[in-house]
A and B are shown apart, each in its own frame.
Chain A
C-alpha cells in the first residue's frame, strides 16, 4: 500500500486564498521538452525510450501541478485539502495512487437530468463491487429532483437520500482521503463542493473461521482467529458478552498503517496495565508491521531474555479466557495470532484442554509436561556428568553397562551429543519445511535409518540414541511454541556446565536459570509466580489443577479491579455493579 503523497514543504508554504500566479512555466517546459524529444529522436535512437519516459513523467507532473493549481484556486484554496474541482481531484488521484491498476477513477454525472460532474474513486477488490454498482452508482445516476441551486445542498441531498451505504462520512483532507481510499472505502467528489463523501464499501478478502492448527485440543472449542481485525473482534464479542469488554484501536506501522486493537475488560483489568500497554504500543516506530510478533517484541519488558514474555495464540477461546483473567490482548490486523500479556512462565504451560477436560486429566498432563521438561533438559547433561565427571554416583552395573557400550566408540560423550543433536535439529527443520506427507516419511527415515546406521557404524553408542530421543521428545512437549527454542538454547548451557563441572555445574546452572527467571517481570507481574514469589492460593492452578469451583480468584499479581473469578451474582447484579463502578470512576 502506497503512502499518500505529501506536498513538499515549499508547496505547503503556499497556502491561503487563490491569489497565487498560474505557473505558466510548467506548460512551457512541457512544450519545450516535446520539441526536444522530436529533435533528439532523429539524432540517437538509443535515448528515445529514455526521453519518452521523461515526457511521460513531465505529463504527470503537469497533471499534478494542474491539480494543485485547481486546489489553490478554490475558495480558501489549500494544497492539503480538496478544493472542489473534480478534474483537479482526478488529476491528483491519477498522479498519486492512480497509477496502480486496482485504483478505479470513474467520472460520471449525477442525476438523470442534472448530470452534475462527479468522480467516484475506489480500489477494485477491496470494495464490494455489488455495493458500488447497486447502492452508489445506480442511485446517483438515476436520481431525480436534486437541488441545483447550491452544490453544498446537492452534497447533502446525495448523502441523505441517494447513496444507500450504511456508513458515510465527509472528509476533505487529502491525506485522510487517500488513506480511506486504500483501506477499501469509496470516495465521491462532487464538482463545486470542497468536501468528498467517504462511503464505507469495505469488503475484505478473508478466509472463513477455521480450526487452530498450532494449538490443537481434543476437547473444547476449536475456532481460530482470521486475519481480519473486525472478525477477530466479533469472535471475541461472541465469547465475552459483557458490556465491559473494550476494544481500543491504534494504528502502528508508519507505512503499513496496520490496525492494532487492544482488548481488555473495563471492570476487571488493572487500568495501569492497560495504559502501560497502550503507551508501549504508541512507541512502535516501524514502517511496516506485518506480523503480531513485530508488535509483541516491542511489548516485552526485557528484550534479551531467552524466555518469551508475550504469548501468541490464534485460539479465540484462549484469548477470551485470558482477558477474563485480567490480562490484555492485542489483536493485530492481518495476523490471526493475538498477543496476550502479561504472562508468567506457568502461563506457557496452560492450554485450552487443561480447562476443557477433567482436573485429574489436567493434573496428570501437567505433571507429564514437567517430567518431560526435566527429562529434556537434564537427561543429556546428566549422562555427560555421570559418565565423564561424577562416575561414582551411579550404580556400578549401570556404569559398567555404559562402559561396555562405549567401548570402541571413537568420540567422547560430548561429541556424541553434538553429532546427535545436529542430526535431530536438521531432521526437525527439514520436516517442518517439507510438505506434510514427505515430512512423515523423512521423520521415519531419519529416526530409523540414521539411528540404526550410526550405531552400527560405531560413531555413537546405543544408550546415547535412547538419551537423545528422550531429550528431543521432552523438549518439544512444551505446549506453547514460544518456549521450545528457550529450552533448546538453555540445554547447551547445561551441557557445557555438565562437561566442565559435572553435577556441580548442573546445579549451578539451574540456580542461574532460576535466578534469571525470578528476576523477570512483565508489567510488574513476576514471571515465576506462583513459585517465586510464592503464592500459595495460586498453586491450585499450577502443577496441579484443582476442580474449577476451587479456583475462585484471579492471579494476585495481575492486581485486577475485581479479584474474584466466581461471583454469586445474577447477571442483573453484575450489570448494576458495572454501572456503579463506571459512575464511581466518572466522579
Chain B
C-alpha cells in the first residue's frame, strides 16, 4: 500500500489544460477583437498555433531529463546563479499570475454576484478553497480536477448552444479575405494571456511514468487542441451575441454573454450565471496548480521535501497572493498590470526560456557529451522532491 507517486497521462493532460484555462476565460476575447478588428479570427488561430508550438517546445525541454523537474537539471547547463535567477523569476511570475487571476475573479464576483460582500471575504474563501485543493499534493488535486472539470466544460458548451438564439451579429464571425498582418499580430499578442500557465509542465512532467511520457505529451497536445476548439466556440458565441464594437467595451465579455441565457421552466432559469460561478472551478484549479508549482520550485532550494513543510509554504504563498490581490484597488489598474507587465513578461518567459535552455543544452552537449551513468551530486537534493509528498 504505497502512496501514489505518479499521475496518469490523462491526468497530466488535464492538469496542463487546467493550468491555463481558468486564467483568461472571463475577459477573453476583448483584447483580441479590440486590436485585431475584423482579423480577430486569424489572430485567434495564430494564438492557437503559438500556444501549441510553445507547449511542444516545453516538452522538448522536459525530454532533456524526463525524470527531473526543470530546476533539478538546469544547473547542468547554466551557472548556479543564473539558475537561481530563473527560479526566482519563475516563482515571481507564477505568483503574479495567481494574483491577477484572483483579483480579477474577486472583482467579477463582487460586480455580479455579491455586491455587498467585502472583497477580502470573496477572495479569502476562494484562496482557502484553492489551498485545500492543493493541501494533499498533486494526486488528490488531479483527481479533483478529473471529477469537476467536465461539469463547467459541458455546461459551457450547453450555454453556448443556447446563446445561438441570441446571436444578432453573426456577420462578425466571417473571416476576412484580406489579412492585415499588424493588427492580427497585435490581436494575438494582446490576447496571449489565454494560454498562460502551461509552463507548469516543468514540474509536472517527471511525475508521469517514463513509459507513459510520450502518451502524456500527445494527450496534453490533444487537450490543448480541444481547448482551442472550446475557445473558438466561445469566441464565436460571444462575438455573435455582443457584436464587435460592444465586445471591445465590455469588461468581462463572456460573463455578459452568459448572463443572457434564460431558460424558462427551470428552477434556476438564469443558468448562464450559474455557469459563470462554475467557471470559478477552472480558476480554482488554476490557482491551486499555481500555488503547488510555486512551492515545488521553491522547496528544493531549501532542501525540504516533507509534507508539513510543503503545507507551510503553501499557506505562505497563498497568504502572499491574497494580500497582493487585495492591494489592487479596482479592475482598471489590474487590467493595466495585466497588459503592461504580466503579458510581456510571461510571453517572454514562455517562449524565451525553453529556447534558451535548449540552446544552452545543445552548447553543453557539444562541449561535453552527456555522462549518462553519472548522477549530478550537486542537484541530488533538488531531484524528485515529490517522492515523499505525493
Contacts and interface: CB of A to CB of B under 8 A. Distances in A.
Contacts of B3: 521, 524
Given A393-B273, A515-B135, A507 B280 contact: yes
A118 B39 CA distance: 109
Given A502-B114, A504-B280, A511 B144 contact: yes
A55 interface: no
Contacts of A386: 268
Contacts of A526: 4, 143
B226 interface: no
Nearest to B137: A519
Interface in B269-286: 269-270, 273-274, 277-278, 280-281, 284
A393 B259 CA distance: 10
B18 to A, nearest CB: 13
A503 B113 contact: yes
Nearest to B273: A393
B204 to A, nearest CB: 16
B109 A504 contact: yes
Given A394-B268, A501-B125, A515-B136, A531 B277 contact: no
Interface size class of B (residues with CB under 8 A): 35 or more
Contact of B144 (A390, A394, A523, A532): A532
A508 B129 contact: yes
Given A394-B269, A515-B136, A533 B143 contact: yes
Interface in B92-125: 109, 113-114, 117, 121-122, 125
A528 B147 contact: yes
A512 B3 CA distance: 21
Contacts of B148: 510-511, 514
A317 B266 CA distance: 43
Contacts of B114: 389, 501-502, 504
Interface residues of A, number: 37
B10 interface: yes
Contacts of B125: 500-501, 504-505, 508
Nearest to B280: A507
A504 B10 CA distance: 28
A531 B151 CA distance: 13
A376 to B, nearest CB: 16
Contacts of A524: 1-4
Interface string A381-408: 0100010011011110010000000000
B273 A514 contact: no
Interface in A64-95: none
A356 interface: no
B369 to A, nearest CB: 40
A518 interface: yes
A66 to B, nearest CB: 55
B147 A531 contact: yes
A419 interface: no
Interface string B1-15: 111100010110000
B270 A393 contact: yes
Nearest to A516: B132
B126 interface: yes
A448 interface: no
A189 to B, nearest CB: 48
Nearest to B152: A507
B146 interface: yes
A364 B284 CA distance: 33
Interface in B125-162: 125-126, 129, 132-133, 135-136, 140-144, 146-148
A398 B269 CA distance: 10
B136 A519 contact: yes
Contacts of A518: 140, 143-144, 147
A438 interface: no
A395 B126 CA distance: 28
B264 A395 contact: yes
A276 interface: yes
B302 interface: no
A398 B140 CA distance: 40
B147 A504 contact: no
Nearest to B279: A507
Given A518-B140, A518-B144, A272 B1 contact: yes
Nearest to A536: B10
Contacts of A584: none
A503 B10 CA distance: 30
Contacts of A507: 277-278, 280-281
Question: Which 7 A/B pairs are nearest by Cβ-Cβ distance?
Answer: A532-B143, A518-B143, A524-B1, A519-B140, A519-B136, A532-B147, A518-B140
Interface of A: 272-273, 276, 382, 386, 389-390, 392-395, 398, 500-505, 507-508, 510-512, 514-516, 518-519, 521, 523-524, 526, 528, 531-534
Given A500-B121, A519-B143, 8 more contacts: A386-B268, A500-B117, A508-B125, A514-B144, A515-B136, A524-B2, A532-B147, A534-B10
30 contacts: A386-B268, A394-B267, A398-B267, A501-B121, A502-B114, A504-B109, A504-B113, A504-B125, A505-B125, A507-B277, A507-B278, A507-B280, A507-B281, A508-B129, A510-B148, A512-B129, A512-B133, A515-B133, A515-B135, A515-B136, A518-B144, A519-B135, A524-B2, A524-B3, A526-B4, A531-B147, A532-B144, A533-B11, A533-B143, A534-B146
Interface of B: 1-4, 8, 10-11, 109, 113-114, 117, 121-122, 125-126, 129, 132-133, 135-136, 140-144, 146-148, 264, 266-270, 273-274, 277-278, 280-281, 284
